[in-house]
Amino acid sequence: MENTNTAAGKWIGAALVVILAIMAYGVLTMPDNRTGAQRIGDAVAELPNGVDKAARQLEDRTPGEKVGDAVKDVGQDIKDNTAK
């Protein structure tokens, strides 16, 4: 028979995982609350990295979309640097 403390620990651990997953989902799907001036400022700051990356700053994107774009950009940079 399983120890009561071990069983309780498993339930608490599972509950913590679920809570963390819900919190992560909430953070990654938050709306973009930047003002128009902030978006333009971000776009101007991003211009040295390319016009396409600067144009992305003008769009209404969630943090999850921004993370996805960053991962895609890093992958493309690695691909470009290893192809030379």
Spatial distance between the Cα atoms of 6 and 11, rounded to a whole number of angstroms: 9
Q: Is there a contact between 32 and 60 (Cβ–Cβ < 8 Å)?
A: yes
> Percent of the chain at pLDDT above 90?
43
Q: What is the residue extent of each domain of the chain? A: 4-83
At 19, is the pLDDT very low, low, confident or very high (cuts 50, 70, 90)? very high
At 53, is the pLDDT very low, low, confident or very high (cuts 50, 70, 90)? confident
At 32, is the pLDDT very low, low, confident or very high (cuts 50, 70, 90)? confident
Q: How many residues does the chain have?
A: 84
pLDDT at 3 (0 to 100): 65
Q: Is 58 exposed, middle or buried (0-12, 13-18, 19+ CB in 10 A)?
A: middle
pLDDT at 49 (0 to 100): 86
